[in-house]
């Protein structure tokens, strides 16, 4: 394909041209949510970042297979408080099946994603549904000599692996330093080395989520699921693996080690990572307790929020920063996004009513090209948005009679706006999409009255009376004025 899309590859630390392995197909895998609580603003960022990529690749003509997993197997390593699996803990406290907890939060996650206009992935595999594939992966790594069994658990032998390969290739961490700082700590540990990570964990008696394996009744280590499911659905080699920057180490570093140890090379061609959302300069997250859930944003029900923010305000706020920059949350920043978005939507609505002239003083072709150049430069959505704001100024100038646009340019401008705002940035017009039903309803009544006005002008009294009588019968009060008609709903 002709499009020179460049994306930043975390592994090579360079922007590289995107050339898929199997054109016109493109495969992308993104680490999805762990479902034991409501999605917060931090979850919205990877979802929206990779939705932007999914939409853009699709727009460019690729047939994209987008896999985003659901982490629903508890992981001891991942838990800071008393070592109990978080899903199981929630299930025990609320007397639910663990899968009830998973389904409850998954339904809520899907609802929040739909509100944010995040397209569903092509495949959404659950870790708990791929235990067999994960056991196969662990067996391969054991057979190849890069893992060892210890008291029913299986650990990845990082030191051995690092002798033959490079552990730390993605994160840039130095394994020698890690071995030196952690070696003293592992006296009675079942691991040979503190840096070794679990491929399979033998379950403690109180652990509810458990499966049989050749080593013990237990559960797979967290890193296994993405390697196993990525391979199952996208093959041994696929194009893009994404996730938040906080997953680079250890999660994605371990995924690379598992792939190399099981099949001899990494599965992933381009590693992509979005930056974090901060509150007062600190990462927003459950473990830090400083998060605001998406539902709280949509309802305004949180003491840090001045008022409710619509899903599209949140989406626009996230897209106004480049995905590799941090975004600091504040009410002021969200309010600025809210204003910017309504300016854009207003201009889009003015655009539909502009009258063409014989001449054009608006550079529409240049606008389209600058928007594509920005997207091709590692998905630079803030530059796309600033170009669209320039176009808003041009639209307003034409509307105010200070500039002109030809019929051809007008059609092209409508197309550029629609393509970039709705198809690629994935915004939706909340007013016309049912976000404000009253406004939509009002527009429909205005439309009927304008048809009636037209009928009167044509002396088509039958139609004019029919519209008036039927609206009156429905409970509207219609009052004729010198430029048309006004209406209100009578009590
Ligand atoms: Zn993952």
User: 243 C-alpha to center of ligand 1: Å?
Assistant: 7
User: 32 C-alpha to center of ligand 1: Å?
Assistant: 7
CB atoms within 10 A of CB 399: 15
User: 241 C-alpha to center of ligand 1: Å?
Assistant: 9
Under 8 Å CB-to-CB from 145, ≥6 apart: which residues?
A: 157, 160
User: 224 C-alpha to center of ligand 1: Å?
Assistant: 8
Residues of the chain with pLDDT below 70 are 1-2, 74-85, 181-188, 286-287, 432-440, 490-491
User: 31 C-alpha to center of ligand 1: Å?
Assistant: 4
User: 66 C-alpha to center of ligand 1: Å?
Assistant: 14
pLDDT at 363: 93
- Give how far Cα 464 sits from Cα of 447, 452, 489, Å: 13, 5, 19
pLDDT at 1: 58
Task: For residue 254, say whether it is annotated as part of any ligand binding site.
Answer: no
User: 441 C-alpha to center of ligand 1: Å?
Assistant: 45
Whether residue 388 contacts residue 371, with contact meaning beta carbons closer than 8 Å, is answered with yes
User: 98 C-alpha to center of ligand 1: Å?
Assistant: 20
pLDDT digits (tens, 9 = 90+) for 160-188: 999 999 999 999 998 888 877 655 544 55
Task: For residue 251, say whether it is annotated as part of any ligand binding site.
Answer: yes
User: 446 C-alpha to center of ligand 1: Å?
Assistant: 52
User: 70 C-alpha to center of ligand 1: Å?
Assistant: 9
User: 59 C-alpha to center of ligand 1: Å?
Assistant: 26
User: 226 C-alpha to center of ligand 1: Å?
Assistant: 5
User: 225 C-alpha to center of ligand 1: Å?
Assistant: 7
Task: For residue 392, say whether it is annotated as part of any ligand binding site.
Answer: no
User: 385 C-alpha to center of ligand 1: Å?
Assistant: 31
User: 251 C-alpha to center of ligand 1: Å?
Assistant: 6
Q: Is 348 exposed, middle or buried (0-12, 13-18, 19+ CB in 10 A)?
A: buried
Task: For residue 418, say whether it is annotated as part of any ligand binding site.
Answer: no
User: 268 C-alpha to center of ligand 1: Å?
Assistant: 13
User: 77 C-alpha to center of ligand 1: Å?
Assistant: 14
Q: From its phi and psi, is residue 117 left (phi > 0), alpha (psi between -120 and 50) or beta?
A: left
User: 298 C-alpha to center of ligand 1: Å?
Assistant: 28
User: 175 C-alpha to center of ligand 1: Å?
Assistant: 21
pLDDT at 439: 52
User: 121 C-alpha to center of ligand 1: Å?
Assistant: 15
Task: For residue 226, say whether it is annotated as part of any ligand binding site.
Answer: yes
pLDDT at 178: 80
């Amino acid at each position: 394909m002709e499009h020179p899309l460049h994306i930043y590859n975390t592994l090579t630390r360079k922007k590289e041209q995107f050339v898929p392995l199997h054109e016109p197909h493109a495969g992308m895998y993104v680490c999805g949510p762990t479902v034991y609580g409501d999605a917060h603003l931090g979850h919205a960022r990877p979802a929206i970042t990779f939705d932007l990529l999914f939409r853009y690749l699709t727009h460019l003509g690729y047939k994209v297979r987008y896999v985003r997993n659901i982490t629903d197997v508890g992981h001891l390593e991942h838990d800071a408080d008393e070592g109990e699996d978080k899903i199981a803990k929630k299930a025990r406290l609320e007397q639910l099946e663990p899968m009830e907890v998973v389904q409850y939060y998954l339904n809520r996650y899907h609802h929040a994603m739909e509100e944010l206009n995040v397209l569903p992935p092509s495949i959404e595999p659950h870790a708990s549904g791929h235990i067999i594939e994960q056991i196969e992966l662990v067996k391969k790594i054991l057979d190849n000599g890069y893992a060892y069994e210890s008291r029913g658990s299986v650990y990845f032998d990082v030191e051995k692996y690092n002798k033959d390969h490079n552990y730390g290739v993605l994160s840039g961490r130095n394994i020698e330093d890690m071995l030196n700082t952690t070696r003293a700590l592992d006296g009675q540990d079942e691991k040979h080395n503190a840096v070794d990570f679990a491929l399979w964990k033998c379950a403690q008696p109180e652990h509810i989520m458990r499966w049989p394996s050749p080593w013990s009744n237990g559960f797979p280590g967290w890193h296994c699921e993405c390697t196993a499911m990525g391979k199952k659905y996208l093959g041994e080699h696929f194009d893009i693996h994404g996730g938040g920057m906080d997953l680079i180490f250890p999660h994605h570093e371990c995924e690379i080690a598992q792939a190399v140890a099981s099949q001899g090379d990494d599965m992933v061609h381009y590693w992509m990572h979005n930056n974090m959302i901060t509150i007062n300069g600190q990462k927003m997250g459950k473990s830090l307790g400083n998060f605001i859930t998406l539902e709280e944003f949509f309802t305004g029900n949180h003491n840090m929020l001045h008022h409710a923010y619509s899903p599209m305000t949140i989406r626009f706020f996230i897209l106004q920063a480049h995905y590799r920059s941090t975004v600091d949350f504040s009410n002021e920043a969200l309010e600025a996004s809210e204003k910017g978005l309504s300016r854009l939507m207003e201009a889009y609505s003015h655009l539909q009513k502009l009258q063409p002239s014989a001449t054009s003083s608006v550079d529409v072709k240049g606008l389209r090209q600058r928007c594509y150049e920005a997207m091709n430069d590692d998905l630079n959505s803030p530059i796309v948005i600033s170009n669209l704001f320039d176009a808003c100024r041009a639209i307003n100038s034409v509307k105010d009679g200070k500039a002109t646009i030809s019929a051809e340019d007008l059609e092209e401008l409508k197309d550029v706006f629609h393509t970039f705002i709705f198809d690629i940035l994935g915004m939706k017009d909340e007013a016309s999409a049912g976000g404000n039903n009253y406004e939509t309803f009002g527009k429909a009544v205005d439309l009927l009255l304008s048809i009636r006005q037209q009928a009167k002008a044509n002396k088509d009294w039958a139609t004019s009376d029919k519209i008036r009588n039927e609206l009156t019968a429905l409970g509207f009060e219609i009052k004729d004025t010198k430029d048309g008609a006004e209406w209100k709903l009578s009590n």
